[in-house]
Amino acid sequence: MQNVTEHYASDGLTARILESLIAGGVDQRAIDECTVDPDVLAGADEFHLGGRAATEQIVSAVGASTHAPRRILDVGSGIGGSARRLARSLQCQVSGIDLTAEFVETAAAVSEVVGASEATDFAVGSATNIPFDPDTFDAVTMFHVGMNIEAKTEMASEFARVVRPSGAIVIYDIMRVGEGEITFPVPWATSSESSFVATPADYGEVLESAGFVNLAVADQRDLVLAVMKATSEGPPNPVNLGVVMGSEFPTMIKNLMRLVHASVLSPIMITATAPGEA
Ligand SMILES: C[S@@+](CC[C@H](N)C(=O)[O-])C[C@H]1O[C@@H](n2cnc3c(N)ncnc32)[C@H](O)[C@@H]1O
């Protein structure tokens, strides 16, 4: 786990994000008055392939499987972009947990400047030991985190414990869809020591063993490729994931996209339902 947090953590993250907002044209007064437009942050606070467009798919999937959710848990919430989006679109409370303390701190700070502090809360916590009581959430989401989790059986049983009967889970992870070596670094790891990429069938097996039903698998490759193309053709955005991950990020994303183009890895969304009556 230390490898994971060392990979993601860096000093001064909140200050760098705020500086990038200023560089992107945000007025200092909007920061001081906590009225920054949350959409301006999408280039940096949606740390998964497909960015905001992919998050919208997850928002729709949660909305379709849980009627008017009141509480959602976002596991591995990073700096909180997806949690804020879920809270805004579904008008509910979203709690985020993440192993990396610096990300948790920045998530709370960013929620403040966009005026989302009441609808979102963040805490340090692990997907395999979730710091909440049983049946607390109407839905559990997880974006691009499972690649760092070796103990997926424990992860699935923790999801089953904290989601209420007939609640929804939506996992959106990079999964293995073909043969081929992973070239490091990739956005989630600098070496194989902290990379635990699995197939959709592996996820299906642990989720069904934990009791989940109605599994549906959707490959988001086409959406991701369209978003990458549009981003590369658009103007440079100072609010980007390099601000979060540093100068190696372009190499990480290049290695990942080569594997996606070669159909070795793909961004896969899995939805499932917890058993029982609501
Ligand atoms: C690629 S980032 C994705 C962040 C966020 N979900 C998003 O899409 O913007 C992966 C995140 O997972 C967190 N993480 C990795 N393993 C974890 C675990 N076992 N439990 C909780 N968080 C974890 C990392 O600290 C990091 O913030």
For the residues 73-96, what does the mean pLDDT come to? 97
Q: What is the pLDDT of residue 239?
A: 93
Say yes or no: CB of residue 203 within 6 Å of ligand 1. Answer: no
For the residues 247-268, what does the mean pLDDT come to? 97
Say yes or no: CB of residue 143 within 6 Å of ligand 1. Answer: yes
Proportion of the chain above pLDDT 70, given as a percent: 100
Distance CA 160, CA 31 (A): 39
Distance CA 58, CA 269 (A): 8
Q: What is the pLDDT of residue 67?
A: 85
Question: What are 145-190's pLDDT values in tens digits?
Answer: 999 999 999 999 999 999 999 999 999 999 999 999 999 999 999 9
Say yes or no: CB of residue 245 within 6 Å of ligand 1. Answer: no
For the residues 104-118, what does the mean pLDDT come to? 97
For the residues 70-86, what does the mean pLDDT come to? 97
CB proximity list for 2: less than 8 A, separation 6 or greater? none
Proportion of the chain above pLDDT 90, given as a percent: 95
> Which residue has tokens 């959710």?
69
Q: What is the pLDDT of residue 2?
A: 67
Nearest CA to ligand 1 atom 14: 76
Q: Which atom of ligand 1 is nearest to the CA of 126?
A: 20
Question: What are 196-223's pLDDT values in tens digits?
Answer: 999 999 999 999 999 999 999 999 999 9
Q: What is the pLDDT of residue 217?
A: 98
Report phi then psi at 200, rounded to 5: -55, -35
Structural domains of the chain, with CATH: 2-273 (3.40.50.150)
CA of 79 to the centre of ligand 1 (A): 9
CA of 277 to the centre of ligand 1 (A): 31
Instruction: Specify whether the CB–CB gap between 123 and 91 falls below 8 A.
Output: no
For the residues 6-35, what does the mean pLDDT come to? 95
Q: What is the pLDDT of residue 275?
A: 83
For the residues 54-60, what does the mean pLDDT come to? 95
For the residues 95-118, what does the mean pLDDT come to? 97
**What mean pLDDT, rounded, does the chain reach?**
96
Say yes or no: CB of residue 76 within 6 Å of ligand 1. Answer: yes
Say yes or no: CB of residue 172 within 6 Å of ligand 1. Answer: no
Say yes or no: CB of residue 85 within 6 Å of ligand 1. Answer: no
Q: Is the pLDDT of residue 24 over 80?
A: yes
CA of 170 to the centre of ligand 1 (A): 15
Instruction: Assign 3-class secondary structure to 177-245.
Output: CCCCCCCCCECCECCHHHCCCCCHHHHHHHHHHCCCEEEEEEECHHHHHHHHHHHHHCCCCCCCHHHHH
Q: What is the pLDDT of residue 276?
A: 83
